[in-house]
Amino acid sequence: MYRYDDFDRAFLEERVAQFRDQVARRLAGDLNEDEFKPLRLMNGLYLQLHAYMLRIAIPYGTLSSLQMRRLAEVAQRWDRGYGHFTTRQNIQLNWIRLEDAPDIIAALAEVDMHGIQTSGNCIRNVTADQYAGVAADEIEDPRIWAEILRQWSTNHPEFSFLPRKFKIAVTGAELDRAAIRVHDIGLRMCRAPDGSTGFEVVVGGGLGRTPLIGKTIRDFLPKDDLLGYLEAVMRVYNALGRRDNLYKARVKILVHDIGAERMAAMVDEEFQAIQAEGGVALDPVLVARIQDHFAPPAYAPAPEGPPEVLALERADPAFARWRATNTAAHREPGYVIVNLSLKPHGRPPGDATSGEMRAVADMADRWSLGEIRVAHEQNLVLPHVRQADLPDLWRAAAAIGFATPNIGHLTDIIACPGMDYCALATARSIPIAERLADRFKNLDRLHDIGPFRINISGCINACGHHHVGHVGLLGVDKNGEEFYQITLGGSAEEDTAIGRIVGPAVSSADVVDAIERLVETYVDIREAGETFLETCRRVGNAPFKESIYAAA
């Protein structure tokens, strides 16, 4: 894992001191809210419905057990004892007192954490594949380049006041586990015909009120050109992005307006100009130093398919189901990647209490070399687990409710905080997610349904990524009542698609029944081995629309 150096820590200490002074002046009345707002947002502090909310960055979704314990401590000491892991691999604390905020960011800085660039019109926290560095299908570890981008973008003087926020995601394999095509810039590691590695560059993706899939503007970009080329993208966007209309300011609108070919040509022209000026050179020493931080750990030899694990699989169907659903192939023989589901029955998706965070940290120390990942699907990952340790880890995860075998299934729901917390939301997401989880809690039924993703957003800003759910639910307000618009056929993976609206929004009271009828229709008409998404693409919306509105 990357460890901050003296430069990083000095920067954080200065920021803590600045913020402490800013908060003191706000509390004393020397700053009004309009003056204070941009200062607090630069440190990830929002003012929500009930209290201040602190959004803490988890760069490329990688956490140490020490950092997880500090998050638990902060949540317990200064919040209400829990945190919410988000779709951008951050964690949010929803009940912060302003007077406590300086002490909180000081406590976070002690473990190399902060809320910088989790808000504002800057380059936000760079996200990555949660299996980075350990996936069996990976080309290269994308976190090396995500960290280089973090360092490049932090306080970049040219890109600190962009037309709008800017999000970058990086994935290291052919399979897209970072949803790169719905980011402002998506980077996918790939190989050239000569075997060298670089990036496919995708620009102009995004969700919100105008969902658009990003376009590839460079099939292969050598790694050495990464910063220069991205600087060219940012310059084109910074110069031409609209600042007169909040809703048309994202780079996706620019790409849509001028076309991907024109965007690529303008970026190439700017890139050549940058190169002619000497380029944005990557210091090989710096790159090597960052690579060293992400070098594979010294794995102890471990047997592949330990007999005791195989015996437990045969004897205990619950363990066999969990292993099949919640683990993934590891590049190291004898090891496995374990997904901890933050979607236990009866709980808000993505939430973890302080006690649960400490338990996960303990599990990481005991079975995962002290490392934890946060997935954009709002789950946690232990990336370095010996297969022989799976039974003990499974029991420990079950003890805190994190062993529900539902990864990628209907109750693995992605949901924003919605109107329970968010000042922008127009409807609640969490109660709908909890009702759906309760309706489909029978595991035999859940696994018969198969892969099925539901995403819920409490407003058009789409923090729950509803556009790319196999089934998307968008909460809308109708004369003071909550309704939910349903979309079908979305995907955030390598077959990225924006879901299609089925019809009129369904009331809160009816939406769970409507989803159940939709599921029953799928089960009735699917062909052998066909997933919901495949069926949806084969038959279109018509049969599902008929079932959704059958009793309306």
Mean of pLDDT values over 511-539: 97
Cβ neighbours of residue 519 closer than 8 Å, sequence gap 6 or more: 410, 440, 449, 452, 532
Q: pLDDT (tens digit, 9 = 90+) per residue, 298-342?
A: 999 999 999 999 999 999 999 999 999 999 999 999 999 999 999
- For residue 515, pLDDT over 80 is answered with yes
pTM, two decimals, is 0.95
Which residue, 260, 188, 263, 175, is CA-closest to 220? 188
The pair of structure tokens assigned to 1 is 């894992």
Q: Can you give the pLDDT at residue 76? A: 98
Phi, psi of 2 (to 5 degrees): -70, 135
Whole-number Cα distances in Å, 32 to 22, 29, 49:
11, 6, 19
Q: Can you give the pLDDT at residue 461? A: 92
Q: Can you give the pLDDT at residue 22? A: 98
Q: How many Å from the N-terminal Cα to the C-terminal Cα in the chain?
A: 53
Q: Can you give the pLDDT at residue 280? A: 85
Angle at 461 between CA 175 and CA 545, to 5 degrees: 75
**Residue 532 is which amino acid?**
F
Q: Can you give the pLDDT at residue 2? A: 87
- For residue 552, pLDDT over 70 is answered with no
Band of pLDDT at residue 507, cut at 50, 70 and 90: very high
Query: What's the mean pLDDT when you consider all of the chain?
Result: 96
Q: Can you give the pLDDT at residue 423? A: 87
Mean of pLDDT values over 413-437: 93
Q: Which residues of 59-98 are buried (b: 16+ CB within 10 A; e: fewer)?
A: bbbbbbbebbbbbbebbbebbeebbbbbbbbbbbbbbbee
Q: Can you give the pLDDT at residue 3? A: 87
| Domains of the chain with CATH codes | 6-110 (3.90.480.20), 134-293 (3.30.413.10), 307-400 (3.90.480.20), 414-549 (3.30.413.10)
Mutual orientation of helices 532-539 and 508-525 as an angle, nearest 10°? Answer: 80
CB 4 within 8 A of CB 13: no
- For residue 353, pLDDT over 70 is answered with yes
Q: Can you give the pLDDT at residue 476? A: 96
CB 402 within 8 A of CB 342: yes
The pair of structure tokens assigned to 279 is 């380029």
Mean of pLDDT values over 528-552: 93
Percent of the chain with pLDDT over 90: 95
- For residue 153, pLDDT over 90 is answered with yes
Band of pLDDT at residue 551, cut at 50, 70 and 90: low
Q: How many helices (H) and strands (E) does the chain have?
A: 18, 21
Cβ neighbours of residue 213 closer than 8 Å, sequence gap 6 or more: 181, 182, 205, 496, 497, 498
